[in-house]
Chain A
Amino acid sequence: MNDLALRDLTKRFGPVAAVDGVTLDIPGGKFICLLGPSGCGKTTLLRLIAGLEDPSEGRILVGDEDITDRPAHRRDFGMVFQSLALFPHLSVGDNVAYPLAIRGRPRAERERRAAELLDLVRLPGMAGRRIHQLSGGQRQRVAIARGLAVDPSLFLLDEPLSALDANLREHMQVELRQLQTRLGVTTLVVTHDQKEALTMADLVIVMDKGRVQQMGAPMEVYRDPANAFVAGFIGSSNLLLATLLDRTTVEVAGRRILLSPEDRVKAEPGPVLLSVRPEDVRLAPEGLLARVTFVRDLGESVQLVLDQGGREMTALFAPRDRPAANVGDEVRLAFAPGGVVVLRP
């Protein structure tokens, strides 16, 4: 598996840089999610890699080869589009075998390979169907099979599951991940759904405003966000304005809180942001004063919505740890050791 490397890749549309100086090293054989809000440049980045857009600056390398100027049809990547882009004038089998037909492979080989790929995506015997006879989930699988038809060195997917309903989407996330593990193809998926990214990826690349904000394993990005954007975008996070006094003490709303050695401090003393995951917020005899404004029983967990000096915070508990607090109660908050990340504001 060749590694993919992006060097200072930039794409400008007029004065706007959709992708702004992205430098990345993507290891081969991994499942990578490009995650970010809409308009963050993640789709443009994917299209640059596919060769569907020409970069304004920067290089794209696969292994040691510079492919920046290679046209899309000579890159031998597989791609699944958000709209799926299945050909309505071809049967399911001909759609899947289209890349082989373009390469001039004989009919017998095309049919055998199409059947093989349709088995792989669990649509056996569907080769003769028309595209419009398929359900949304089946079309999704056909698009995936087609993208894998020529054993691509890189498999690119642009929001592949966004058109599916929630249940099917979760199912396909697992299936896509299992398929990638089986085939070992380097896979790059664009998504705006952080749950999807955390479910599927070996590596998550968080983007905002055309730049890479953080790249890391899902739990790393979740537990140890590099900046306030990542903390806010991945999962739900309580972001508190605070002042860092020294490496072990912060002041929040006039109260001093001691940091534990496991807490991560990524800022210099001065004004900072504290990022605390809802599951790391505890009720304690001593701590920040807050008022309960809502209790949400979610079955698998209990969520407390809190008003902390005019700021909304959330705390999450397992049902067996459900605190005996009701709406309107005053409570004291503490943070679990290792649950606090001190970020630059």
Chain B
Amino acid sequence: MSAREAPTPYWLGLLPALALLVLFLVPFGIMLAVSVAGREAGGFFTWGFDLASYARVFSPFVGRILVTSVAIALGAAILAVALALPFTVILGGMSRRAQTVVLVVLLSALSLSEVIIGFSVNTLLSQTAGVGNLLAWLGLLEAPRAFTPGLFALMTGLVYLSFPYAVLVLYPPVARLDPELAQAARTMGASPLRTFATVTVPLLRAPILGATILVFVFVLGSYLLPQVLGRPQHWTLSVHITDQAIYQSNLPFAAAMAVLLLAVALALVGLSLLVTRERRTGT
């Protein structure tokens, strides 16, 4: 065997490449084709090249939904990462054993389906069985009230759903952080909180951005929780895509909105990567 041969044979990569092609690129191609297909009144479509669906996509109505979707996804991503970051840093300082236990619990939370999380949060925040009763009992509320549906309930559900992913993205770089860096800051007069702000967070800038992007994209595709926990004005583009595709039987319009969603998501992710790269070479 020659020394220059790669330890992993290249053909091993063919299988995932093929899977990507068949399972992602082909359906995406079909979706692109459907998005320019002509709509039939009967509920189906005919292949062709008709930009009518795109004309509907570029309307103030869809624009408003898009802005709502991006705002909700961004808000959920920032909240989830803001909670996950201190959580993960504290986790990283615990004993190996405790870390394993916490990570296992976290992974088991991942196994819960979106449906279960949605209805659990719904029950938890409901008028009859929810925390409103507890607050009323404590005297903080005059009478039990529901906190769902609404933006608060929706954010709670989305953050619950995406928190484990944020922790899992942040955990490896946090575990690799040299503890002496934070200790050095302590010996130089920084309190634990200032050490976190001036050393730990800047060192984790790339993973923080990575986790935020992951959760953002993940939440952008969420279509169940906005329906269960949100009011109609909180419905994301994904909800409307589902609505159009399944209930309105308007597949071309649904496909065109999906293409828009994908384009916006890619553009935002690309932009954030570009901004951080420029900052890195700039300083």
Contacts and interface: CB of A to CB of B under 8 A. Distances in A.
B180 A89 contact: no
A76 B178 contact: no
Contact of A76 (B189, B191, B205): B189
- Chain B interface mostly helix, strand, loop or mixed? helix
Contacts of A83: 178, 180
Contacts of A76: 189
B95 to A, nearest CB: 12
A81 B184 contact: yes
8 contacts: A52-B187, A73-B187, A79-B184, A85-B178, A85-B180, A88-B203, A102-B185, A102-B190
Name the interface size band of chain B: 20 to 34
Contacts of B199: 87
Given A73-B191, A85-B181, A87-B181, A52 B203 contact: no
A82 B178 CA distance: 12
Given A88-B203, A89-B202, A103 B180 contact: no
B183 interface: yes
Contacts of A81: 180, 183-184
B198 interface: yes
Interface of B: 178, 180-181, 183-192, 194-195, 198-199, 202-203, 205, 283
A50 to B, nearest CB: 6
A72 B194 contact: no
A72 B186 contact: yes
- Chain A interface mostly helix, strand, loop or mixed? loop
Contacts of A52: 183, 186-187
A149 B203 CA distance: 22
B203 A89 contact: yes
A110 interface: no
A150 B189 contact: yes
B154 to A, nearest CB: 35
Nearest to B202: A89
A91 B192 CA distance: 22
Identify the 8 closest CB pairs spanning chains A and B, nearest first: A85-B184, A99-B188, A79-B187, A72-B186, A85-B180, A89-B202, A102-B189, A81-B180
Contacts of B185: 87, 98, 102
Interface in A153-179: 156
Contacts of B194: 102
A226 to B, nearest CB: 32
A78 B187 contact: yes
Nearest to A99: B188
B202 to A, nearest CB: 4
